[in-house]
Structure 1
Amino acid sequence: MPKASPPRQLPLQLSGQPALRREDFLAAPGNAAALALIDAFPDWPARVVCLVGPEGAGKSHLAAIFAERSGARLVEARALDRAGVPEAVETGALVLEDLEPGGFEEAALFHLLNLTREQNAYLLLTARLPPAQLPLATADLASRLRTVPVFEIAPADDALLAAVLVKLFADRQLTVDEATVQYLLLRAPRSVAGAKRVVEAIDAAALAAARPVTRALAAQVLKEHAELATNEDED
């Protein structure tokens, strides 16, 4: 009779909730201007400003800090319609997230910009591209967006990526040693978004095998998920 395989723990699909307080934000030279903007509220250069950066750069974290301080609502750009604009800004502040090409109603955004100005409200936009680069059919909207001050967040460097990896594991109640972090820095995607995907995969593997997070486990995950690795393991 064949020997039974040891039982595997099925991973629960519960993502770690990120810590989004001001003290949890990982400051770095590449995000210093954006962080200074949020810290300076309400002393802003304009009532409408925009945070621009790649996926996972920290835009949503900064937006959450701003929302906590200002009482702003958080609305996805694709969910905004013209009828909902007055309610969206009734608290005097709003975060409009993920302003992507073709992913929002131009009439609604134009109305929002007008109402923000009329009511002396504050509007924080987040996007991957500067608003002035969005392809728009509405000339007046394009003109308005060209005047919006942009605060760019640069891609993470090694020091920030290492800190991000530690934080992402900590958000999932996992500890990770320096050797594992350095191993991942050499082989994981060079972005915060890529780091999130790697940590998620390692967390799932650790749960399934009932193992702690180690360099060996990280190597196994990257080998099994080639799309997550940037370099082949030399071991």
Structure 2
Amino acid sequence: MPRQLSFDLPVREALGREDFFVSPANATAVALIESWPDWPSHKLLLTGPEGAGKTHLSQVWASLSGARVISATTLTDSDIPALARGPVAVEDADRIAGCAPAEEALFHLHNLTLAEGGSLLITSRTPPARWGLGLPDLASRMQGTTQADLQPPDDALLGAVLMKLMADRQLRPEPRLIPYLVPRIDRSFQAAREIVERLDKAALEQGAPITTRFAAKLLEG
């Protein structure tokens, strides 16, 4: 069968609350996001591996609170006093460890936001003690922040993530495909993302529907 041309089209990721599947792996984090006005000290730290749903929950919280969402790596180019006038979500805070200007920027944003009576959501892949921060005052504030961990997915969550990733790509797998894939891939969000990308690309190239048999051949190959 001749290979078809495939195009790297943008993936439209659904990031609404109704698109986030709740399971024991993330229930505590979701409950805290939804009760945000009652956060201790008006701040929360979300931790979890790549693809665990941190960005999705940041967007959910932004919809609830009217917060701005910003990457920690862009803080040095941002107007910190302007950001601090309202709720703000800072993503991937662990990525700025060792960068003195960025650490200073996050420190000032933290202090100004709370002083203004706002709320602060911070996301990272790991707990603050493992970031390697060089600014002691920032380290103490991060370690004193209420933390919610997004755990590795159980079967139900992994299946839901696979379904969402396929829906984001407008893929329509046959019903038995997801139960087939769940026990055959690594129990991680990254593995789910990778298998969906592989299935999408192979199906486009071969002009074939994404069936269980198609997935089996791909996994065997």
Q: TM-score, normalised by structure 2?
A: 0.91
**Letter matched to residue 193 of structure 1:** Q
1:207 corresponds to? 204
1:66 and 2:61 aligned: yes
1:99 corresponds to? 93
Taking the aligned partners of 1:117 and 1:156, their CA distance within structure 2 comes to: 33
Moved over 6 A (4+): none
Taking the aligned partners of 2:188 and 2:78, their CA distance within structure 1 comes to: 37
Q: Give 1 or 2 for the bigger CA radius of gyration.
A: 1
Which stretch has the larger CA shift, 172-181 or 190-199?
172-181
Q: Could you tell me how far 1:43 is from its partner in structure 2?
A: 2.2
Taking the aligned partners of 2:77 and 2:9, their CA distance within structure 1 comes to: 35
Runs of 5+ consecutive residues of structure 2 not aligned to the other structure? none
1:191 and 2:188 aligned: yes
Change (3 A) 1:8 1:83: closer
1:85 corresponds to? 80
Change (3 A) 1:205 1:103: farther
Q: Could you tell me how far 1:207 is from its partner in structure 2?
A: 1.3
Cα deviation 1:2-61 (Å, max 9, x = unaligned): xxxx54321111143121111111000111111011111222222121011111111111
Task: Indicate conservation of the 8 Å contact 1:78/1:103, yes or no.
Answer: no
1:30 corresponds to? 25
Runs of 5+ consecutive residues of structure 1 not aligned to the other structure? 1-5, 225-235
Quote the RMSD (CA, aligned, Å). Answer: 1.8
**Letter matched to residue 71 of structure 1:** G
Task: Indicate conservation of the 8 Å contact 1:38/1:62, yes or no.
Answer: yes
Equivalent residues, number: 218
What secondary structure sits across from 1:42 in the alignment?
helix
Q: Could you tell me how far 1:65 is from its partner in structure 2?
A: 0.5
1:154 corresponds to? 151
Task: Indicate conservation of the 8 Å contact 1:82/1:111, yes or no.
Answer: no
Q: Could you tell me how far 1:82 is from its partner in structure 2?
A: 7.1
1:1-235 alignment runs, 5 A limit: 6-81=1-76, 84-90=79-85, 92-101=86-95, 102=97, 105-224=102-221
What secondary structure sits across from 1:165 in the alignment?
helix
Q: Structure 1 vs Structure 2: percent identity of aligned residues? A: 45
Cα deviation 1:207-226 (Å, max 9, x = unaligned): 111111012221233344xx
**Letter matched to residue 143 of structure 2:** R
Cα deviation 1:75-125 (Å, max 9, x = unaligned): 1111111762123233x1111001225375111111111111221111100
Taking the aligned partners of 2:195 and 2:136, their CA distance within structure 1 comes to: 42
